[in-house]
Amino acid sequence: MSLSKLPYKGTRDFYPEDKRVLNYIFSKFKKVTELYGYEEYDGPMLESEELYKSKTSDEIVNNQTYLVIDRSNRRLVIRPEITPTVSRMVAAKRYELQYPLRLYSIPNVWRYERQQSGRFREHWQLNVDLFGVDNNDAEFEIINIINSIFFEFGANKDQFQIRINSRKITEYIFNEVYQFNQDQISRLYRLIDQKNKITEDEFLSDLNDITNNSNIAQELLKIFDAKSLDQLDSAITKSEGFKELSDLTKKLNLDNLVFDPTIVRGFNYYTGIVFEVYDTDLENKRSILGGGRYDSLISAFGVESLPVVGFGLGDGTMSNFLKLHNLLPNLKPKTNTALATIDLELSEIQSIINQLRQENINLSVNSSNAKIQNKIKWAIKSGYDYLIIIGKNELVKKRYNFKGLLDKSEKELSIEQIISEIK
């Protein structure tokens, strides 16, 4: 029986045309984050299982991780995200590293998910983290990076929206304003996370169930429907979290930044401001990017805690956005020139090949015994722009047949002329 030609469900094969899209996206990610002074790091793809326990999202740990038991019975997990890894790495050099410390990475991460558009079991995720800044200059920079990334791809500010909130505000509402118990708070967090997926009536009915008080339910509905900070009433606006977020949004002064009290993020480690980016095109409903402040994760490694603000941005959600807004350029192969021989040994044309490559021309050679018509077809279907044809005559005359495959042109040129044509 033959082997299956399909990749594992939920994963992708990247043929050159697909890999070019991925590389294009990565190159923009790198360009922008490096402009902001970030340096690239990476860590191992397997980490001990305990690194993820209770430090990351319960949903991910309980339902989405890939467990690996090695040949010495160590329990490992394929990283579902890289935040625990970078926290471990910074903790290991807590007192050597210099702060502010700017780090980014584009790791492949794995989650066992139901298949949906733009959601894969393996995806690549840009992670940008700023360590050691305790005031909102950190959020200011991180939000600016996010805008710069989208602009770098050619998006405009009407095409995406940054929705922001602070966990401190949500916790203040639950703990200080209404003094809910732990069970109520857990249920409320789950409900808020569902808000955009259910009707307003369902949402209100669940609020009634949880609070057992229709007045409070109405008040909560009003709070979680708020579209801007000034729609919150004075019971909330006197909180520290409100002042921080209000300061930040004034400082940023961005048209595409909106307050959204339903943004709470599913990760246990967030401690302050949290945000997500959404496409303004309603066809594309899923969050493209998410992040926030997590100031105490590093202390789990037994070192002094450290303020951190960061975000993660997946290749799948990013390329969905780019495709929907027609922002993906036509990406050509890295090689644009082919060379085909007629009745020649490869060694007879080695000096010509070397001359072209010394000029940094990427060159793909076809020296097979196939007919020249088939070699021309090969060059066209492979996506090359130019084809140089060399037979015994051309070798003697030192002038070669140079075909432009896009404009169907044809010339007899010396090697120096060919080099200048290609360049």
Both tokens of 119, joined, read: 């959601």
Q: Which of residues 251-290 bind its own copies (CB under 8 A)?
A: 251
| 418 binding its own copies? (CB under 8 A) | no
Tell me how far, at minimum, the Cβ of 141 lies from its own copies, in Å. 7
Measured from the CB atom, the residue of 175 and 374 that comes closer to its own copies is 374
Pick the stretch among 31-39, 274-282, 315-323, 404-412 that binds its own copies (CB under 8 A): 31-39
Measured from the CB atom, the residue of 186 and 354 that comes closer to its own copies is 354
Interacting residue with its own copies among 275, 286, 365, 390 (CB under 8 A): 365
| 133 binding its own copies? (CB under 8 A) | yes
| 35 binding its own copies? (CB under 8 A) | yes
Q: What count of Cα atoms within 13 Å lies in the side-chain half-sphere of residue 14?
A: 11
Measured from the CB atom, the residue of 6 and 282 that comes closer to its own copies is 6
Measured from the CB atom, the residue of 266 and 383 that comes closer to its own copies is 383
Tell me how far, at minimum, the Cβ of 137 lies from its own copies, in Å. 5
| 415 binding its own copies? (CB under 8 A) | no
Q: Are strands 308-314 and 289-293 parallel, antiparallel or unpaired?
A: antiparallel
| 300 binding its own copies? (CB under 8 A) | yes
Tell me how far, at minimum, the Cβ of 281 lies from its own copies, in Å. 28
Query: What's the alpha-carbon Rg for the chain, to the nearest Å?
Result: 28
Tell me how far, at minimum, the Cβ of 189 lies from its own copies, in Å. 25
251 neighbors 138 (Cβ within 8 angstroms): no
**Contacts by 351-358 with C-beta closer than 8 Å and gap 24+?**
352/390, 352/400, 352/415, 355/415, 355/419, 356/415, 356/418, 356/419
37 neighbors 145 (Cβ within 8 angstroms): no
Interacting residue with its own copies among 366, 400, 402, 418 (CB under 8 A): 366
| 357 binding its own copies? (CB under 8 A) | yes
In whole angstroms, what separates CA 315 from the centre of its chain?
A: 4
| 46 binding its own copies? (CB under 8 A) | yes
Closest CA to 416 of 361, 368, 350: 361
97 neighbors 91 (Cβ within 8 angstroms): no
Local structure of 191: helix, strand or coil: helix
Closest CA to 135 of 48, 240, 43: 240
What are 48's strand-pairing partners?
Answer: 76
Binding mask 378-397 for its own copies (x = CB under 8 A): x--xx---------------
80 neighbors 68 (Cβ within 8 angstroms): no
Pick the stretch among 286-294, 298-306, 319-327, 402-410 that binds its own copies (CB under 8 A): 298-306
Measured from the CB atom, the residue of 211 and 337 that comes closer to its own copies is 337
Closest CA to 339 of 412, 402, 384, 388: 388
Q: Which of residues 331-350 bind its own copies (CB under 8 A)?
A: 333-335, 338, 345-347
Pick the stretch among 40-48, 227-235, 256-264, 279-287 that binds its own copies (CB under 8 A): 40-48
**What is the rounded CA–CA span in Å between residue 85 and residue 107?**
11
Interacting residue with its own copies among 156, 175, 231, 368 (CB under 8 A): 368
Measured from the CB atom, the residue of 184 and 364 that comes closer to its own copies is 364
Q: Which of residues 61-120 bind its own copies (CB under 8 A)?
A: 63, 66-71, 74, 76, 78, 85, 88-89, 91-93, 98-100, 102-103, 108, 110, 112
**What is the rounded CA–CA span in Å between residue 152 and residue 137?**
22
Measured from the CB atom, the residue of 67 and 396 that comes closer to its own copies is 67
143 neighbors 252 (Cβ within 8 angstroms): yes
**What is the rounded CA–CA span in Å between residue 154 and residue 325?**
10
Residue whose entry in the numeric block shows the structure tokens 């960061």: 310
**Number of residues near its own copies (by CB under 8 A):** 92
Interacting residue with its own copies among 51, 254, 372, 413 (CB under 8 A): 51
Measured from the CB atom, the residue of 65 and 170 that comes closer to its own copies is 65
Q: Which of residues 139-178 bind its own copies (CB under 8 A)?
A: 140-141
- Cα–Cα separations (whole angstroms), residue 76 to 67, 112, 130, 344, 356: 6, 15, 27, 56, 49
Q: Cβ neighbours of residue 359 under 8 Å, at least 6 residues apart?
A: 419, 423
